[in-house]
């Protein structure tokens, strides 16, 4: 008989209260359409309310258990923060030619590093000024707390606005990634020195980085082994969930190693484990990433933020006496200034207004500022009052930064490169959704007010207007490079719209559909590209019979793979064989079109500028192909 030492004498009520709140918060925010407020901020506030009014329901044992879960949530949050770092993007930004001012200002990594150095300098000066108002035990550590930022707030804001793949969005994301990486490194070293002094054990932190590089090399080596890949694939979808277990193993290896060095280094260990997985993981709609997000944001992380609120010591603010409001106000202003002033680096490329808005978005702070302040509190160099102030700053900056960003830099859905879809039919809506998955902007022109509001409620960009009026296209700011897809559901109306666009705007990028020979003839006369519905249906059925596997891969899993034609403009590619060019491992060249010739490329095929290359790849790999061929 096997006995398991499990006791049921544990009060689960506090955990139930926490989970009920974690479940209700996003539902209520969605129901009341309060999208501007991050749910984690509400979780901190709700945790504070629970601590103030339901504290008696929490026994000491249950608080200890919740604190353990909160610590796990904090570690998982740091891991996911590292996972958000796009290592490929950082490596791609490393300068490979002589650095001139023009190249410097356009390089996201160099500008991000300069941004960070300026932030550190400004933060240190500001901390010295603040020390004249309130006693600050360690100027350097206090200044490090202020330079933190929050990729977790910045990323969804840029994604929702469709700016994540634009140059401006990439500049902000790289600057945020650099701030995260170097902030955590500086925190770890500084906290270790404050606690232990300059000892030989300090070199153990470098051992953590060595472990990172060893694991990275070993992981890349294993990922190329067919046998290993086969085992992982077979076990991933079984009860073993081998990838999830492997991820947790990596996290704990780095956390335990960091804990062996010192508790203050755990933050760095968890973060490095996230970056490590980021190197291996295909993050674009990865099922594994969905599972990790489910574990973290579905359970551990909400517990962490609510326990932050639960333990928030509002009475500690009384230590600041009458100067509390002036100090909090000055601290908030300082936190914004040390990010908005360096943001002027972007002014030449994007203009003053957009640069400043990016600085305000970079001012958002969340997990790092809370973690760094808590470590400082444990080390005795941050007072309980200042720790409470920094938690307040996390709430204030996360609330204000996205709002100010959107206010200063309002999104223009009609400007820039976009696909214009004329007609809000089911096909048009489906196309808009598919384009959105691929990070491409689209605007649907719809003349029905009811349908227009339905599309807006679904998060799609729409314009209320008539497709038969030329003024409509002027108002949606049609550009020569914009594709216009005409699908109103009425063939006669589609033909009239195409004539307006061709004759009045001389627009060339037109696509519509034809169901019979009459309309095919009309579109051929107008030189408009059209989809032959009959042939597409026949070809689809043919593919399902002859090559069903390839069809399902390309059509049904479009969110994992992308097929795209890219014209080679990079003169450094000209004359090089395919085998000489280090392409991304998650993509492949399918066809090359050179003038009137179309051929399948192989290793010895020489590519030339002007070639149009058809590429099959994941989204991240496709971005790498674009950069390699176009830049």
Q: Do 263 and 293 belong together in one domain? A: yes
1 within domain boundaries: no
Mean pLDDT of 368-392: 88
> What six digits make up the tokens of 526?
């107008």
Domain residue limits at 288: 13-408
pLDDT band at 609 (very low <50, low <70, confident <90, very high): confident
Q: Do 473 and 388 belong together in one domain? A: no
7 within domain boundaries: no
Residue 480 and residue 152: Cα distance in Å, rounded? 36
Residue 359 has pLDDT above 90, yes or no: yes
How many domains are there within the chain?
A: 3
Q: What is the pLDDT of residues 95-107, one digit of tens each?
A: 777 787 778 888 8
Q: Do 440 and 402 belong together in one domain? A: no
> Taking the CA of residue 624 as centre, how many other CA atoms within 13 Å lie in the half-sphere pointing to its CB?
22
Nearest residue to 191 via CA among 261, 247, 92, 244:
261
Mean pLDDT of 546-568: 66
261 within domain boundaries: yes
6 within domain boundaries: no
472 within domain boundaries: yes
Nearest residue to 402 via CA among 2, 34, 30, 22:
34
Grouping H, G, I as helix, E, B as strand and the rest as coil, residue 482 is coil
Q: Do 376 and 436 belong together in one domain? A: no
Q: What is the mean pLDDT of the chain?
A: 83
Q: Do 313 and 442 belong together in one domain? A: no
Q: Do 336 and 464 belong together in one domain? A: no
Q: How many CB atoms lie within 10 A of CB 241?
A: 15
Spell out the residues 6+ positions from residue 567 whose beta carbon is closer than 8 angstroms to its own.
610, 611, 612, 613, 629, 630
Look up the CATH number of the domain holding residue 120: 1.20.1530.20
Q: Do 53 and 164 belong together in one domain? A: yes
Q: What is the pLDDT of residues 245-302, one digit of tens each?
A: 888 999 999 999 998 888 878 888 988 998 888 887 755 445 677 788 888 888 998 9
Mean pLDDT of 189-216: 87
524 within domain boundaries: yes
- Phi and psi (nearest 5°) for 29? -65, -40
Q: Do 466 and 390 belong together in one domain? A: no
Pure H helices in 39-138: 39-53, 60-83, 87-92, 101-106, 108-130
- Are 176 and 405 within 8 A, CB to CB? no
372 within domain boundaries: yes
Mean pLDDT of 20-36: 84
Count Cβ neighbours within 10 Å for each residue of 401-428 and write b for 16 or more, e otherwise: bbebbbebbeeebeeeebbbbbbbbeeb
- Per-residue pLDDT at 120: 95
294 within domain boundaries: yes
Look up the CATH number of the domain holding residue 514: 3.40.50.720
Nearest residue to 90 via CA among 176, 10, 210:
176
Q: How many CB atoms lie within 10 A of CB 134?
A: 18
Look up the CATH number of the domain holding residue 617: 3.30.70.1450
Left if phi > 0, otherwise alpha if psi is -120 to 50, otherwise beta: which for 618?
A: beta
Single residue among 386, 408, 430 that ends a domain in this structure: 408
- Are 46 and 304 within 8 A, CB to CB? no
Mean pLDDT of 474-489: 88
The contacts found for 33-38 with CB under 8 angstroms, 24 or more apart, are 36/399, 36/402, 36/403, 36/406, 37/399, 38/153, 38/366, 38/398, 38/399, 38/402
pLDDT band at 422 (very low <50, low <70, confident <90, very high): very high
Give 311 or 94, the one with higher predicted confidence. 311
């Amino acid at each position: 008989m096997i006995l398991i030492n499990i006791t049921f004498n544990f009060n689960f009520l506090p955990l139930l209260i926490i989970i009920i709140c974690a479940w209700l918060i996003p539902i209520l925010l969605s129901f009341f359409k309060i999208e501007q407020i991050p749910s984690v901020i509400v979780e901190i506030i709700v945790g504070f309310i629970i601590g103030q009014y339901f504290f008696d329901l929490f026994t000491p044992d249950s608080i200890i258990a919740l604190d353990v879960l909160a610590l796990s949530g904090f570690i998982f949050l740091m891991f996911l923060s590292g996972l958000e770092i796009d290592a490929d993007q950082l490596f791609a930004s490393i300068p490979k030619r002589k650095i001139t001012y023009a190249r410097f200002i356009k390089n996201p990594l160099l500008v991000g590093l300069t941004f960070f150095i300026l932030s550190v300098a400004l933060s240190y000066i500001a901390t010295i000024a603040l020390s004249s108002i309130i006693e600050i035990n360690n100027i350097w550590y206090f200044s490090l707390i202020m330079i933190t930022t929050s990729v977790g707030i910045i990323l969804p804001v840029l994604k929702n606005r469709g700016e994540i793949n634009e140059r401006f969005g990439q500049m902000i994301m790289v600057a945020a990634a650099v701030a995260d990486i170097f902030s955590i490194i500086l925190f770890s070293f500084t906290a270790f020195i404050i606690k232990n002094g300059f000892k030989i054990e300090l070199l153990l932190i470098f051992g953590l980085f060595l472990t990172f590089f060893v694991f990275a090399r070993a992981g890349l080596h294993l990922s190329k082994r067919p046998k290993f890949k086969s085992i992982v694939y077979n076990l991933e979808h079984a009860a073993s969930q081998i990838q999830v277990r492997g991820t947790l193993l990596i996290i704990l290896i780095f956390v335990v190693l960091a804990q062996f060095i010192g508790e203050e280094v755990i933050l760095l260990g968890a973060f490095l484990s996230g970056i490590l997985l980021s190197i291996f993981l295909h993050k674009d709609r990865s099922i594994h990433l969905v599972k990790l997000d489910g574990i973290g944001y579905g359970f551990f992380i909400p517990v962490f933020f609510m326990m932050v609120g639960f333990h928030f010591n509002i009475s500690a603010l009384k230590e600041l006496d009458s100067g509390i409001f002036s100090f909090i106000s000055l601290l908030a202003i300082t936190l914004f200034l040390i990010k908005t002033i360096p943001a002027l680096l972007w002014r030449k490329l994007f203009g003053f207004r957009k640069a400043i808005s990016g600085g305000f978005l970079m001012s958002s702070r969340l997990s790092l500022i809370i973690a760094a302040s808590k470590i400082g509190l444990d080390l005795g160099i941050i007072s309980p009052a200042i720790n409470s102030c920094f938690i307040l700053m996390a709430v204030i900056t996360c609330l204000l930064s996205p709002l100010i960003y959107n206010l200063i830099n309002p999104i223009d859905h009609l400007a820039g490169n976009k696909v214009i879809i004329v007609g809000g039919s089911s096909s048009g809506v489906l196309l808009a959704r598919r384009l959105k998955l691929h990070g491409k902007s689209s605007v649907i022109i719809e003349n029905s007010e009811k349908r227009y509001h339905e599309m807006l409620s679904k998060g799609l960009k729409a314009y209320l207007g008539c497709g038969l009026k030329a003024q409509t296209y002027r108002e949606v700011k049609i550009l020569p490079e914009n594709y216009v897809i005409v699908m109103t559901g009425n063939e006669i109306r589609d033909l009239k719209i195409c004539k307006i666009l061709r004759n009045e705007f001389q627009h060339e990028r037109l696509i519509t559909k034809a169901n019979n020979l009459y309309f095919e003839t009309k579109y051929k006369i107008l030189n408009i590209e059209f989809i032959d519905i009959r042939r597409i249906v026949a070809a689809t059925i043919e593919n399902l019979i002859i090559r069903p596997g390839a069809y399902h891969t390309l059509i049904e899993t479009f969110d994992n793979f992308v097929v795209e034609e890219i014209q080679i403009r990079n003169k450094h590619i000209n004359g090089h064989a395919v085998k000489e060019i280090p392409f991304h491992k998650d993509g492949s060249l399918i066809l090359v079109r050179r003038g009137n010739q179309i051929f399948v490329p192989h290793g010895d095929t020489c590519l030339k500028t002007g070639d149009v290359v058809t590429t099959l790849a994941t989204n991240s790999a496709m971005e790498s192909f674009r950069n390699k061929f176009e830049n």
